[in-house]
Amino acid sequence: MAGLAESGSNPDVELLYDINGLAKDAPHWFDRVMEFVGEYGLLFAIVLLVLWCWWSVRRRGDEDAASSVAALVWAPLAAGVAVLVNVPIRGFVERPRPFKTHDGLEVLIEGKNDFSFVSDHATLVMALAVALFVANRKFGLVAIVLAVFGGFARVYMGVHYPTDVIGGFALGTAVALLLSPVAMALLTPLTRAVERSPRVGWLVSARGRGGAAGQGAVIPGARQESAEAGERDLAA
């Protein structure tokens, strides 16, 4: 397993050199941008999309807000589960980073001494993106495009083979989709309970908090008006 894709005639290696070769020809500032984007930027952007989608859902306050928020809660959980699943996979395959077995690569970030397959970054961003797609198609499609570009950036940076990224995409997608029904069955009752709470119901629905307050709160002056109306009825 450790010798996976070490041959220079392997299409995986050839594509690695083709994509990473772009880094050699690019200006230094562009490589620094790609380094930031591939390491942190795209992951941060997808997390912002998840938060933006949550804000939109709670503002609308639709009847299915609880289930939508449950799907959004599943997004970071799916990413965490997928990365945990990847731990034994990386230990079993034991594939070295490409720059350890191939010369002439432009490595944009140092210190990557762990195993290469499957890419944690690709797994993480795709699990987030696919789970977001389950919750909201529009936001999810944007996130998937960002995740694909993030995988490209990992190869561009010289820290992963293309198949590392493809494997990460497959793993993240599988976890997000296959475990989604179980996650929704567990999370939806929880978000519905939160929605009914007068204190934290705003986390699920902006209207939900108002509804809860309207059912249980005493409106100033209402009790006095009710008493006056009762007196008028008795007088009549």
Q: What is the pLDDT of residue 208?
A: 54
Q: What is the pLDDT of residue 110?
A: 81
**Whose CA is closest to 98, among 155, 149, 38?**
155
- Asked if residue 129 lies in contact with residue 153, where contact means CB atoms within 8 angstroms, the answer is no
Q: What is the pLDDT of residue 1?
A: 46
153 assigned to some structural domain: yes
Residue 148 sits in a domain whose CATH number is 1.20.144
Cβ within 8 Å of residue 182, ≥6 positions away: none
83 assigned to some structural domain: yes
Burial of 82 (C-beta count, 10 Å sphere; 0-12/13-18/19+): buried
3-state secondary structure 111-149: CCCCCCCCCHHHHHHHHHHHHHHHHCHHHHHHHHHHHHH
* Residue 98 host element (H or E): helix 98-101
223 assigned to some structural domain: no
Q: What is the pLDDT of residue 145?
A: 96
- Asked if residue 77 lies in contact with residue 183, where contact means CB atoms within 8 angstroms, the answer is yes
**Whose CA is closest to 172, among 74, 52, 50?**
74
81 assigned to some structural domain: yes
Total number of domains in the chain: 1
72 assigned to some structural domain: yes
**Whose CA is closest to 150, among 48, 24, 15, 41?**
41
224 assigned to some structural domain: no
Q: What are the structure tokens assigned to 89, written together? A: 């996979």
Q: What is the pLDDT of residue 177?
A: 95
Quick check: bond before 182 cis, omega within 30? no
36 assigned to some structural domain: yes
Q: Which domain holds residue 209?
A: 11-216
Q: For residue 55, which amino acid is it?
A: W
**Whose CA is closest to 37, among 51, 21, 18, 23?**
23
Q: What is the pLDDT of residue 197?
A: 79
- Asked if residue 134 lies in contact with residue 15, where contact means CB atoms within 8 angstroms, the answer is no
| Mean pLDDT of each 10-residue bin along the chain, 236 residues long | 51 89 88 90 93 87 82 94 93 88 84 86 95 93 95 92 94 95 92 83 68 39 45 45
- Alpha carbon distance, N-terminus to C-terminus of the chain: 93
229 assigned to some structural domain: no
Q: What is the pLDDT of residue 104?
A: 85
